[in-house]
Each structure stands twice: as C-alpha cells, then as structure tokens.
Amino acid sequence: MIPLGGIGEIGKNMTVIEFENDIIVIDAGMMFPREEMLGVDYVIADTAYLQKNVQKIKGIFFTHGHEDHIGGVPYVLQSLNVPLYGSTLTMALIEAKLTEHPGIEPDIHVVKNGDKVKAGVFTIEYIHVSHSIDDAMALAITTPIGVLVHTGDFKIDLTPACGEVMELSRFAELGKRGVLALMSDSTNAERLGFTMSESQVGETFVNYFRQAKGRIIVASFASNVHRLQQVIDVARIFNRKICLSGRSMIKIVNVTRELGYLNVDDDMLVSFDELKKLRDNQVVILTTGSQGETMSGLVRMATGQHAKLSVKEGDLVIISASPIPGNERYVSDVINMLYRKGASVINDSVDMVHVSGHACEEELKLMLSLVKPKFFIPVHGEYRHLYKHAALAEKMGIKKKNIFIPEIGSVIELNRKVGVQKDTVQSGSVLIDGLGVGDVGNVVLRDRKQLSSDGLFIIVVTTSSETGELLAAPDIVSRGFVYMKESEDLLDHARDLVIDIVAHCNANGLSDWSTLKSSIKKEISNYLYDMTQRSPMILPIIIEV
C-alpha cells in the first residue's frame, strides 16, 4: 500500500494498492493551494510512480464525488489512460469536470452498492456509507492474502437527511470472516463523541426561515447535495423561490437534478432577473463561497462585484459549512464584509447550521470493533489526526506493531502474518497553474514570493559589441520596490554604480555576459539592501549594439 496523497494533509487523496504485477488506485483528488503557493490554482499528487508502472494499473476506483477525491482526474488522465470506476453521481461529476478538458476520453464504469469488480488479482466490492454527498462508498478489496477495507470518507448517521443508513451489517460480516487491514478516515479523530446527524441542520433552517423578514442567502459546498436538498425543502415550506449563484453550484444542481438525486420543481427556481419581481421575503439565494473563495458567489455579492446581486441591509446570510483548515481568515473577512453591508450572519460557531460529514471518535471505534482488522492504517487527515486515530486503534486492542502511520510515498508491505513500512517511491505535490501541469516548482514559487514581498529592479545596459563600452547611461525600471519619482537619488547612485561595474569588467577583460550580469546583481543587491533593508529581484538586461 502506497499513499501518494491525503496523508498529513487535507485533500489530494490518492492511494495505490499493489500485488506483484497488478495495481489499483483509490481516488485521484486535488487540494487548494497553501497561502505561500502564489498564483497556483490547484495541487494534485505526484503520479510519477504510476506513470512508470502504467501497464500494471487495472483502474482508478473512486469512493465519492468530492473535489479532494476526484479533482485531479483531468490532469491524471493526461498521462494515465486507465479505466475509472465509481458510483452514478461520482462518475457524473467526473464527466461534467472532463467537459472542460477536451481531448480526454475516459473509460468510465458505473457501479452501485454491492457490486463487485474484478481487476487483475483484486476483487473490489462497493459498500454504501453515509457522508455529506450521495453515493459515497467504502471499498472491500479482496487480495490473494486477505481482505483490505478502505472506508473512504464516512460518518455513521442513523437519521440521514437523504438516502439510506450505511450498511454497518456488511462491515460486521467482513469482520467475522477476517480482515487483513483497515484504512480508515481520520479527519475527525480528535473530536469526542458522535458526529451530529445531517437532519438536525434542517431543523435549524426551519427556525431561521420562520424568523427571517428579508432575503435569505445560504452559502454551502455545492457538492453537499443533502444540504442543498434541505434548503430547498425548507424554502418550499415557507413559499420561497430559489436562485442559484456560483458556477459550481449551478453545474452540480443541474447534474443532480438530471440524475434524480436532487428534488426541486422547475417553478421553484428563478433567475437573477426574475428576482426583481419578487418580494424579499419570497427569496432564497443558494450560493458558493462558504470558504471565502475570492471569485465565489458570496464574496462577489459582499464586495459589490457580482453582476446581478449585492448583499443589502436586512439580508440573512447562513454560512452552512465550517472553514477548511487554512481558510479561517478568508471566512472571517467575508463575515466582516457582510456585517458592513447590514446583513445578519449565522455560521456554525453561532448555531447548528453545519454538521461534519466525517466520523468522530465513537464512530471510529465502532468501525474498528466491527471490522476487527489485523493491521490498521489511518488515512485522510493531518498528522495529528493520524496519530490520534492510531492511538484509538491501540486502545481498541490492535497491536502497536500492526499499526502503521504512513508518510506520503512510503511503502507499507503486508503478508498474512507481519507488516513493515519501508522504502519510498517518488511522490509529493504537482502544482496546477492555468494550463500548466507541474511547470511551477519551488524555484518559480520562490521568485514569486520575492517579487510579491520586495518587488522587481530591472537594469538595462547597452554596450558596444566591439569595445564592450557603454553606449548610453543604464536604464532602470522599478516595480513594487520604490516609487521612482520619489527615489531619484537612489536610482542615480545605482546607475553610477552600474557604470563603474561595466568599466571595471572591461578594464579586467571580463566581457562575457554572465560575468557582467553576476557582478551587477551582486553589487546592486548589496547597495539596495544597505540603503533600504529590502532585497528586490534584480534583473540585469545586456544589449549589444
């Protein structure tokens, strides 16, 4: 078992299962960039190991349709043309995503709860679980030496808002027969007790819809179909129309309606232009932006940049999601903007307008007690979640030597009796920037960081191709470093310094460009730092005439 993503981080989940000459892959997700990844759009797992072994791969098997599990598919398929397996909704969301990437023709196979897929030496069984999206599945993988269980993302919700209760009985059956290893979701391993039921959010919505006098704006993950359905159901009770805002919201509502996962009548949905004909107390706006994303519907409404909508006094804004780790500041900024506009804001710190889709401690213990694995590997979470989950497994009676806290790229080898964690394969992160896949690396990020913090200082030197002497005074352009009109003395001294450097190089017969550029960068960098305590990126340009 080789985790290529989703370990020590939230997102870009990808796990490799390998037996001799056969490989299956579980999920191919993406992750949003960290703050220091300037200009990067998405982050996916490094699939170099899979590319080297592409002839062994029997397919990618998806647990559910969240971006952290399917978001990397368009980029992974550019180098790995392998079959894809997943539930109806999961595969529909993947197909919708691939429409934005022409030229990729995936080999898609739709499976349902209870289906078993033969893939080389593996047999993969799909088992329904509860999560914050329909058609979420766990995988029971039969191998020549035993059964592996991968829970995917799950919670034990006995009163789900939509769909059926997860099949706990199937996990118990597998446990009775004997499970070699369990890989289990660790996201909420630090939280005590049980995760609250999704149906409780609907009860909270009823209370706020009953009190609201003006428009209601609900921001949620577009993929949380159960949450969208609850908003729609409560809006129907209070005779409010639904207006959709945000590209992903519109896309997912269309896909889930077409497949029958979302129940909303045509006459309940209204366009932006039709809102003008309705009173404020007849309107619910369902939008993206629960994470404070810059270009999302909610943020554009709050900043006045939305073409059709703007938050106004009297609006009730319900942010029905908790911030992903790292997004707290963005969400806080949006809430402040909403209050400045005169809106009232309700989020999960105020009332029960969001519940997690991940299992808390008691549910994780229940899963361990049902499956009774010989080996345990916590997955999907930051390191503190993995360690907490591992400690929980030890308390539940699993021997410490049989518990493995993995690293990205580490190889965990199991046989019927013992397991070892050894070796590593090439792994890490691939950065997606626009159409570029992997062409932005540490050097580019370092340059972007320097440009963003200290700016750019360009020096254009025109020399004679025959003598190497200056033909004109050096031109200097500063961007993001100093305001040129107010820094004439600094620029004049820098210009004089460049003239001296060129003369010194000529006098010593150092006429090659690389030496001249290096000398200019070194001397100007030292001078500017002495004068300003800043280190801009210095870009010398040599023009020979």
With contact defined as beta carbons under 8 Å apart, do 241 and 309 qualify?
no
Question: What's the 3-state SS for 364-415?
Answer: HHHHHHHHCEEEEEEECECHHHHHHHHHHHHHCCCCHHHECCCCCCEEEEEC
* DSSP SS3 for 73: helix
Instruction: Single out the residue of 124, 131, 128 nearest to residue 153, CA to CA.
Output: 131
Amino acid 239 reads N
> Tokens for 34?
């960290």
In the block, tokens 């200097």 appear at 476
Contact by Cβ (8 Å): 422, 404: no
Task: Please state, in angstroms and rounded to a whole number, the distance separating the CA atoms of residues 521 and 120.
Answer: 58
Catalytic residue among 128, 226, 354, 358: 358
Structure tokens at 272: 């932006």
Annotation marks residue 185 as catalytic: yes
130, 151, 192, 184: which is closest to 386 by C-alpha? 184
Q: Which of 46, 134, 153, 185 is catalytic?
A: 185
Dihedrals φ, ψ of 146, to 5°? Answer: 150, 180
- Eight-state DSSP code of residue 164: P
Task: Please state, in angstroms and rounded to a whole number, the distance separating the CA atoms of residues 89 and 318.
Answer: 26
> Which of 311, 324, 321, 250 has its CA nearest to residue 286?
250
The Cα–Cα gap between 274 and 516 comes to: 66
Could you give the 3-state DSSP secondary structure of residue 109? strand
Main-chain dihedrals φ then ψ at residue 538, nearest 5 degrees: -105, 125
Active-site residues, by number, are 185, 358
